[in-house]
Amino acid sequence: MHDYAARVFEEQQKKAPWEKEFLQSVEEVFASLDDVLNTHPEYEENCILERMITPERIITFQVPWVDDNGKINVNTGYRVQFNGSLGPYKGGLRFHPTVTLSVLKFLGFEQTFKNSLTMLPMGGGKGGSDFNPKGRSVREVTDFCKAFMRELFRHIGPDTDVPAGDLGVGGREIGFLFGEYRRLANRFNGVLTGKTVGWGGSLIRPEATGFGAIYFLQHMLALKNEEIAGKRIAISGFGNVAWGAALKAVQLGAKVVTISGPDGYILDEDGMTPEKVEYMLDLRASGKDIVAPYAEKFAGSKFVAGRKPWEVPVDIAMPCAIQNELNGNDAAALVANNVKYVAEVSNMGSTPEAIACFLEKGVTFAPGKAVNAGGVATSCLEMSQNAGHTSWDAETVDNQLRKIMAGIHTACVENGKTADGLNYVTGANIAGFKRVADAMVAQSV
């Protein structure tokens, strides 16, 4: 690591050693910046690294809500407005019991570079709450969303900060949140993305993260003169992102053999079909957070309790669930089974040990901030449609998404060249970082 980066990282470590996830994401980016910092002394002169790891604003608030027994509950709500130098803060809201300030800071930090990679005008932000939607009734979720927006509405706006969904926040929750915003602010505008089509949502937004990931993967394969048809793919998770990735992979003739949940994974040696992919929506709608029923519904598949899908022999692995879901042991198991490509779709889905293992063993690894950027990119397309009081057809949105993913892949290749090949981690970090850093220098303090 460059001296300047090492110094700033060490200071941050001393300041908040408990922010493990945040420090992990900072270390990964800083480790990629040697050349950039050597050739751009103005970054150190402008204190860019210190400013880059300090959120511009953090809003923390109380979210009181009433459960179905009439009991009052309290959760903590957050919005981390990380970096606004490229545009309004943009990034999702996560409702999940693992949410802490460290998790939201890592997500906001990653989001800043991801949004930069899309080349669209978006700053980076992230928010959410430690609220656990699992097993909660629709009324309880509605009440929580309204209480959350009661405070958040004064901090957001189409030119200020535009939240969207993430884990635990889908189209339904965005509807509840938007309704409350509209009532409180007396404005109907593009303040949230991921809205339902018909009242401001964009076609292809639900599919966009998964579709974009597969488009990116196609470019990774093309560089090695390979194609996706016929490849065995392991996917983790069964939410919106896993669904979109499985749908596009199946359409293109790949064999998707796994999905997973907190209860274990499904091994489907016959490969998923469009019908099986759509069943993922039923699984999610059940609110039980389990995948086991898949094996009861589809003969030929089996449920493996309490384990992760990384022990299954595949050509391509695509983590689509949550941070650090793929560790060093998982990576070693994939390598032992001759995995060739890992396209990370979850944010920071792989631990540093896993990434080191892939790079050392010659597995082509691409990081989430590049692979999953199609989601937020399409959110920006939704903002454009809202701002123009119009809506585009699916083909228009999908074509833009394809172009954006191709552009991100090219940026990774151009910035990730190494003596012995290509490093997507370095490429994504450098390309994402430079655009933000240059904007910060240009805008002064």
Binding site for ligand 2IT (CB under 6 A): 90-92, 111, 164, 166, 193, 347, 375-376, 379
Q: Quick one: which H or E segment has residue 253?
A: none
How far is it, in rounded angstroms, from Cα 366 to Cα 371? 7
Q: Which is nearer to ligand 2IT, 301 or 347 (CB)?
A: 347
Closest approach, Cβ 89 to ligand 2IT, in A, equals 10
Q: In what order do the strands lie in the sheet with 316-318?
A: 301-305, 264-268, 255-261, 232-235, 316-318, 341-343, 364-366
Residues 6 or more apart whose CB falls under 8 angstroms from that of 422 comprise: 223, 364, 412, 413, 416
CB count within 10 Å of CB 50 equals: 14
Q: Which is nearer to ligand 2IT, 239 or 427 (CB)?
A: 239
Distances (CA, A) of 23 to 20, 109, 134, 209, 357: 5, 10, 29, 25, 20
Q: What angle separates helix 20-30 from helix 424-443, to the nearest 10 degrees?
A: 90
Q: Which is nearer to ligand 2IT, 9 or 178 (CB)?
A: 178
Alpha carbons within 13 A on the beta-carbon side of 118:
31
Q: Which is nearer to ligand 2IT, 277 or 373 (CB)?
A: 373
Residue type, 107: L
How far is it, in rounded angstroms, from Cα 375 to Cα 208? 5
Each as own residue / partner, the long-range contacts of residues 333-336 (CB below 8 Å, 24 or more positions apart, any chain) are 334/310, 334/363, 335/361, 335/363
Q: Which is nearer to ligand 2IT, 83 or 347 (CB)?
A: 347
Distances (CA, A) of 342 to 18, 310, 350: 29, 11, 10
- Cα–chain center distance at 108: 10
Q: Which is nearer to ligand 2IT, 111 or 426 (CB)?
A: 111
How far is it, in rounded angstroms, from Cα 373 to Cα 221? 18
Residues 6 or more apart whose CB falls under 8 angstroms from that of 96 comprise: 128, 130, 131, 132, 167, 168
90, 126, 248, 276: the catalytic one is 126
Closest approach, Cβ 76 to ligand 2IT, in A, equals 19
Closest approach, Cβ 193 to ligand 2IT, in A, equals 5
Closest approach, Cβ 104 to ligand 2IT, in A, equals 11
What does DSSP say about strands 316-318 and 341-343: parallel, antiparallel, or unpaired? parallel
Q: Which is nearer to ligand 2IT, 100 or 193 (CB)?
A: 193
Q: Which residue is nearest to ligand 2IT (CB)?
A: 92
Residues 6 or more apart whose CB falls under 8 angstroms from that of 153 comprise: 180, 181, 184, 185
Q: What is the DSSP string of 136-166?
A: --HHHHHHHHHHHHHHHGGG-BTTTEEEEEB
Closest approach, Cβ 50 to ligand 2IT, in A, equals 25
Q: Which is nearer to ligand 2IT, 323 or 426 (CB)?
A: 323
- Is there a catalytic annotation at residue 126? yes
Residues involved in catalysis: 126
